Amino acid sequence: MSSTATPTALERGVFVDGAVRPVAPETLEITNPGTGELVGHATSADAGVVDEAVRSAHQALGEWSRRGYAERGAILHAGAEALLDHVEELIPGLVAEQGKTIREARIELRKAADTLEHYAGLAKEVRAAYVHGLDPGVDGRVLRKPLGVVAAIVPWNFPTTLLSNKLGPALVCGNTVVAKPADTTPFTTLRLAEILTEAGLPPGVLNVVTGTGPRAGEALITHPLTRKVAFTGSTPTGERVMALAAKGTKRVTLELGGSDPMIICDDADLKRAASAAAMGRFYNCGQACLAIKRVYVLASVADEVIEAIARKAAKLRVGIGTDENAQLGPMHSRRQREIMEDQIARTLQRGGEVLTRGGRPDDPRLANGWFHEPTVVVDPPHDSPMAQEEVFGPALPIWRVKDFDEAIRLANDSPFGLGSSVWTTNLDRAERAAAEIEAGYTWINSPTKVYDELPFGGIGASGYGKEHGSEALDYYTDQKSVVVKRAG
């Protein structure tokens, strides 16, 4: 890929104490995944820069945590409204650095604002517990207290929504945050911090450090003033985060990889199920932790469903994110594409049939980007890479299964446990799937939409802890017990 600079190339430093610093001598080069053009340079922060950001957040903690929940919620509400006002401004930058389509960028940014608004609304609903009559004349209370400085580390696939999942509950509960975006998608996060600060967030409450994981990320996790690490990313990196956070006994929430199964029964609405499978797999070029990555179809309807999914995949228009007609943008990097291509190749060496053309597109307009056409593989071995590893791109394996019992067994034959889906009109099957599939989320006859009202998190290799829902507040507060003995 070329990296020819354009007149609009950005130069941005870290965001600390309410302002963007000048870009440092040592920088990250950010290129457009769809064109290879240079987007700009951002500071590659070292431990010293991270220390400044964490100390700034720690300094701001006292005043911010003393404010009432309602006041913090009002400031977050203003920030959410400001973000909505700036969506159209932010779209081009997000498309340029991440690669996604204009439509997907707009959806992401609006969802990020919705999540902030959700937690702003919850601010007035936060309750503590009270226990009357522990002993004669003795009552008890349970208080919520903020943890302190939160490290929010997010990946490149959804830079703003995954950050908002952490910012919302962290800020409402009185914590301060140092965010570290992926080293390939820093610019939208830096601008988001500016927007929230301009909307009323006090300086230091949200700081952003840009840099690599081994350098900036590890310095942030291991900083003695960091009290909580909220991480979204791959399972191997999450395990590294856990190990680093052990020193100092920091709180950790991990939203890691997934290989979500979908079961399609013979009594399902097959047309809607096929649409949900295609949307759930190929949205954001298949680059999502929570995505349909394995499909199991009962044999009697398998041919019809497989044909429908393959037809939908083949119709997707691959293109550069700025193309209004594009439905499938590029993969984010050369490395991501090569990893997926290797998984497909190793799988096909052992078996399976490719129904769509797949591979790299031959359109010369896409030659400088990391594009890959949607790929559907039927009946690969159940112990192949596409069955057992997380496939992070536009490739979907589908299996024919003899009955619902086999579908459940194979759905659970994975180290991951993030999301899952079942399509059936049979209530008993639906209830069995909800109870027996080992995952943090199950959709029944529904596209894989995440709701802020419900807790979200995985099990097994998909991590632990919850984001979304009022349950997320528990992961950003300490509970303190207070016993009061009345006089007399």
Tell me the catalytic residues.
166, 255, 289, 467
Q: Which of 400, 117, 424, 142 is nearest to 272 (CA)?
A: 424
CA distances, 478 to each of 6, 173, 182, 204, 451 (Å): 49, 10, 28, 22, 25
* The length of the chain, given as a count of residues: 488
Q: β-strand 15-16 against 19-20: which pairing, if any? A: antiparallel
Q: How many CB atoms lie within 10 A of CB 135?
A: 9
List, in order, residues 6 or more apart from 251 with CB less than 8 Å away: 147, 227, 228, 229, 245, 475
Q: What CA–CA distance (Å, rounded) separates 289 from 418?
A: 8
Q: What CA–CA distance (Å, rounded) separates 365 from 377?
A: 27
Amino acid at 332: H
CA distances, 261 to each of 291, 354, 439 (Å): 9, 19, 9
Q: What CA–CA distance (Å, rounded) separates 329 from 324?
A: 11
Asked whether the beta carbons of 439 and 420 are under 8 A apart, the reply is: yes
Q: What CA–CA distance (Å, rounded) separates 338 from 180?
A: 26
Q: Which of 196, 201, 203, 120 is nearest to 160 (CA)?
A: 196
Q: β-strand 38-43 against 10-12: which pairing, if any? A: parallel
Q: How many CB atoms lie within 10 A of CB 403?
A: 13
Asked whether the beta carbons of 210 and 186 are under 8 A apart, the reply is: yes
Alpha-helical runs (H) found in 99-234: 102-122, 161-172, 187-198, 218-222
